[in-house]
Amino acid sequence: MTHEHAPRVNHRFDSLTINRLGLWLFLVSDASFFIALLSSRFFVSGTHTPEYVDQVLGLGLTILLLISSLSAYRAEALFEHGNIEGAKRMLLATIGMGIVFVFGVAFEWHEAFKHFPPSTGFGTILFTLTGVHVTHVVTGVLTLGFVYFRIRNTTSIGDNQFAVEGAVKWWHFVDVAWVFIYPTLYLLK
Amino acid sequence: MTAFMPLVRGIIYAAIGYAIGAGIALSIATTTGEPSTEPMIVLGFVFAVIGWLMGVGMWTTWGRGWFGKSTTMDITGGWERYLRFNVDHKVIGIQYITSLVVVFLLAGLLAMGMRYELMDAGQNVFTKTTYNTTMSLHGIMMVAVAVAAVMGGFSNYVLPLIIGAEDVAFPRINALSFWVVPPVVVLLLLSPLFGGFDTGWTAYPPLATQTPIGGLLFELAFLTFGISSILGGMNFIATIITQRAPGMTWGRLPIFAWSVLAASVISLTATQWVAYGLLMIIFERIFNMVFFSPPGGNALLYEHVFWFYSHPAVYIMILPAFGAELEIISHFARKPLFAYRWVVRAFALIVFLSFIVWAHHLFTSGMGESLHGPFMILTELISIPTGIVFLSALGTLWRSKLRLKVPLLFALGVVFNFSIGGLTGIFLADVATDIALQDTYFVVAHFHYTIMGGEIFAIFAAGYYWFPKITGRMYNETLGRIHFGLMFLFYNITFLAMFAPGTVGMNRRVAEYPPEFEFMNLITSLAAFALGLSFLPWIYNMLNSWISGPKAADNPWGAKTLEWQTTSPPPLENFDEFPVVTGDAYGYGDESVVHAKFPNSTNAVPAEGD
């Protein structure tokens, strides 16, 4: 018995709606994890930000991630209008920016080890916040990569609609999480 | 032997996964020059769980699809379908229930060991560390049973049936949420071999960051269990929102479904907090981070984060128990559920309040004193919605013609026990008395009255109530009554006797205690042994009836809800013909109220009678 048989159901929701709801619930759940994460910043290192924090790098990472959200949005919009080629280009651009972001964080860690290693208060917070977030970024890049290969040979939207939509929504979530992490980590005095 | 193939494959893949993960950690450690076993265990475990899941069947039913390949899903067959990655919610429910019964009995045996040690004041069998490890294991295993037996077990089995659906919204995620449980149990059982953990299930740092490897295994197990809980909560919310049968409006939703929805909201959001708490402990262990130690860190952070989950978690345990209790009382009292709408509002209020009472666990921890007053008042407020649930039970019982079957006996037990648990809770919510009672046997007796007397009794009520539906056979009523009588009597002696030494200051979590508490402890221990023995008729009854009990009718209780309007046990997709809901689920005594109709057949839901 394969999964692809037409299911016999007793409800009025199509699978796209149900999947959307499931993803939103998961985002709510994950958001509460980030709330816990952000609140620990104030507990462990108050509102103090050491002057060694690389403000230029932080701002650059933020801008990069915001632009990647735009390209992810374009990918979804192009895909829904049937422009598979354009969607693939935009997906590639998003994936590329995601990878650059990961390298940016790696560079930041390399520098951070010198001034505030994980055994200091601010180091604990910096490595945890960026570490958890960059793990999310990696899952986002992998998901977008799966979607890229999945729509590779297709000319129709078909059953890939939720794959594209879900991956892009996940990417937006990762960006929004950073929008909260950035001021919490870098901009407090 | 092919039946065991998925399990064998899972174990082999888990071993391979562990080798890969531990190898990666080892190679990182050798390059940075900081060899350590704990990162190897953490990373090895992560890969081992993935290997285990893929091996038991997640790869063939799900994983292949990620790479655009075809997936196969074998959901037919006899007993061997319970030993693999199966997406049928009924199979998953039985998997949960049977696994957790084993965990429950093991944790019960640990309690017997503790009571043996506490029979006299001196230190006999256990050392202080082994006693506390036993206590901690008993705690976390029982918490796992309490969280997952109703939500994972009975909700999985009953919820899709009771709302007239063919399955949950995400069957594969449902199977995933069960199959991460076996690694959790294995880790917990392994932990005593690696030094154990004497922190209690709460795992307070800094002690939790200093325990031997056994402590790390426990923390990983707890964290993994959280994943199961989160995915389960997500699935139940989506199921209740999207999978209801036509006509199943929110106002007609059975109270059990409402209670599962309420508990799922907590499960979905609050569980992330304990995940973060445990992650902080693991990070402090393996990366030397300073969440809880100077400079900057503070152990209070963990207590806040931990109780932000663990206080709401008691409502994950008790809300579905209330739902099952009210469900059973209404069907056996043959009366409409009293104040149905108010109970739903009460559930919503409990969910809301459960998030803003956590700091009553911190009254004696050094938290700012300005927080004492607000948290005392907020905590005491929660007795209002809980009281509404009680009034609903009592109002339904009022002037009813009770059918005193075993499920109802247990449901009445919940009403009795939880009222004691609730009333003794007031003294712990109140700052002045809590400062004296904190960390004494009064607390132990109190939470056993709420969780064991409330929830575990409700689990047994649910177990007897849905036994004929799940197995297709009828349990032995006499043995069930004997079980209830013994369990109810000795349960109450055990824990009532515990209040007395608690009020005069006998500390919990100690193997040795002052001799003046000896007499009450001896009574508690003897009653506890009898309580342990009271489960023997239950085990015999369940096993024997499942194998050779008389065939059960489709609707032996004459209940109106949808799970009784299909065969016992139900077919693969629950209903041979799907129902359309036309009225209230509790319309007893009113012939005009018909809960559901099957449009193509003549059998409407029976209104009255057996």
CA distances from B548 to B471, B476, B479, B540, B544 (A): 11, 11, 15, 12, 6
pLDDT the model gives residue A49: 87
- Please answer whether residues B396 and B326 qualify as being in contact, where contact means their C-beta atoms are separated by less than 8 angstroms: yes
**Do residue A149 and residue B68 have CB atoms under 8 angstroms apart?**
yes
Does residue B42 sit in the same domain as residue B93? no
**Residue B184 and residue B301 in one domain:** yes
CATH homologous superfamily for the domain A53-187: Cytochrome c oxidase, subunit III, four-helix bundle (1.20.120.80)
Q: Percent of chain B at pLDDT above 90?
A: 83
Rounded Cα gap, residues B282 and B573, in angstroms: 43
Residue B537 and residue B464 share a domain: yes
CATH number at residue B127: 1.20.210.10
The complex's ipTM works out to 0.93
| pTM confidence score | 0.95
Is the same domain home to B335 and B279?
Answer: yes
Q: Mean pLDDT in chain B?
A: 93
Phi-psi region of B579 (alpha: psi -120 to 50; beta: other; left: phi over 0): beta
Task: State how far residue B610 is from chain A, nearest Cα, in angstroms.
Answer: 28
- The pLDDT value given to residue B507: 94
Q: What DSSP designation does B193 have?
A: G
What is the average pLDDT score of chain A?
90
Mean pLDDT, residues A35-62: 91
In a domain, B450, yes or no: yes
Chain B nearest C-alpha distance from A68 (Å): 24
Q: Is A36 close to B272, i.e. CB distance below 8 A?
A: yes
Please list every residue in chain B whose beta carbon sits closer than 8 Å to the beta carbon of residue A127. Answer: 287, 289
Instruction: Please report the residues numbered 112 through 171 in chain A whose beta carbons come closer than 8 angstroms to any beta carbon of chain B.
Output: 118-124, 127-128, 146, 149-150
* Residues of chain A positioned with their CB less than 8 A from the CB of B362: none
B296 and A121: CB-CB below 8 Å?
yes
Q: How many CA atoms lie within 13 A of A169 on its CB side?
A: 16
What's the whole-number mean pLDDT along residues B241-246? Answer: 94
Q: What is the pLDDT of residues A126-172, one digit of tens each?
A: 999 999 999 999 999 999 999 998 887 666 677 788 999 999 999 99
Task: State the smallest CA–CA distance between residue B301 and chain A in angstroms.
Answer: 7
Query: What is the mean pLDDT of the segment spanning B471-491?
Result: 97
- Would you state the torsion angle of the CA atoms of residues B344, B239, B330, B317, taken in this order, to the nearest 10 degrees? -70
User: Hey, are the CB atoms on A3 and B230 less than 8 Å from each other?
Assistant: no
Distance CA B388, CA B298 (A): 39
Q: Give the one of B270, B288, B304 whose C-beta lies nearest to A119's C-beta.
A: B288
| pLDDT of residue A39 exceeding 70 | yes
Task: Please report, for chain B, how many H helices and E strands are present, in that order.
Answer: 22, 2
Q: Mind listing the pLDDT tens digit for each residue in B65-90?
A: 877 788 887 766 788 889 989 999 99
Burial (CB count <10 Å: 0-12, 13-18, 19+), residue B103: buried
Distance from CA of A39 to the nearest CA of B (A): 9
Q: Are residues B100 and B27 in the same domain?
A: no
CB contact under 8 A, B301 and A127: no
Whether B169 sits inside 8 A of A18 (CB atoms) is yes
Interchain pair A43, B275: CB under 8 A:
no
Residues in chain A: 189
The answer to whether A22 contacts chain B (CB < 8 Å) is yes
Q: Do A7 and B290 touch (CB under 8 A)?
A: no
Indicate whether B244 belongs to any domain: yes
Interatomic CA distance for residues B444 and A138, integer angstroms: 45
Cβ-based contacts under 8 A for chains A and B: 131
As a whole number of angstroms, the distance between CA B244 and CA B596 comes to 12
Looking at residue B251, the DSSP 8-state letter turns out to be: G
* Percent of chain A with pLDDT strictly greater than 70: 94
Considering the domain boundaries, does residue B8 fall inside one?
no
Substitution target from A14, A124, A142, A148 for chain B, most B beta carbons within 10 A: A124
Q: Which of A77-86, B342-351, B379-388 is predicted least confidently? A: A77-86
Is the domain of B299 the same as that of B412?
yes
B468, amino acid identity: P
Q: Do B289 and A150 touch (CB under 8 A)?
A: no
Cβ partners under 8 Å of residue B49, min gap 6: B14, B17, B180, B183, B224
Q: Which domain holds residue B336?
A: 87-565
Q: In whole angstroms, how far apart are CA B343 and each of B266, B391, B399?
A: 17, 9, 20
Q: What distance in Å separates residue A101's CA from the closest CA in chain B?
A: 22
Cα–Cα distance between B487 and B268 in angstroms, integer?
33
Same domain, B29 and B152: no
User: Within this chain, do residues B129 and B21 fall inside the same structural domain, yes or no?
Assistant: no
Which DSSP symbol is given to B2? Answer: G
Count of the separate structural domains present in chain B: 2
B113 pLDDT exceeds 90? yes
pLDDT band at B35 (very low <50, low <70, confident <90, very high): low
A6 touches chain B (CB under 8 A): no
Q: What is the pLDDT of residue A10?
A: 82
Residue among B61, B275, B291 minimizing CB distance to A33 = B275
CB contact under 8 A, B290 and A9: no
Query: Do B110 and B168 contact (CB within 8 A), yes or no?
Result: no
Beta bridge partners of A2: B72
Contact: A33, B276; criterion CB under 8 Å: yes
Select the residue of B65, B164, B290 nearest A120 (Cβ to Cβ): B290
Q: Where are the domains of chain A?
A: 53-187
Q: Which of B290, B298, B302, B303 to mutate to test the interface with A (most CBs of A within 10 A)?
A: B290
Q: In the numeric block, which tokens belong to residue B295?
A: 């400079």
Q: Which residues of A touch B235 (CB under 8 A)?
A: 22
Lowest-pLDDT range of A137-146, B214-223, B568-577: B568-577
CB B218, CB B187: distance < 8 Å: yes
Count CB neighbours of B334 within 10 A: 18
Q: Are B443 and B306 found together in one domain?
A: yes
Same domain, yes or no: B301 and B333: yes
DSSP string across chain A: -BTTSPP--SSS--HHHHHHHHHHHHHHHHHHHHHHHHHHHHHHHTT---TTS-HHHHHHHHHHHHHHHHHHHHHHHHHHTT-HHHHHHHHHHHHHHHHHHHHHHHHHHHHHHHHS-TTSHHHHHHHHHHHHHHHHHHHHHHHHHHHHHHTTT-SS-GGGHHHHHHHHHHHHHHHHHHHHHHIIIII--
One domain for residues B432 and B384: yes
User: How far is C-alpha B8 from the geometric centre of its chain's CA atoms?
Assistant: 28
Cα B72 → chain centroid: 31
B161, B28: one domain: no
Contact: B270, A32; criterion CB under 8 Å: yes
Q: Is the pLDDT of residue B609 over 80?
A: no
Instruction: Find the CB nearest B72 among A2, A7, A128.
Output: A2
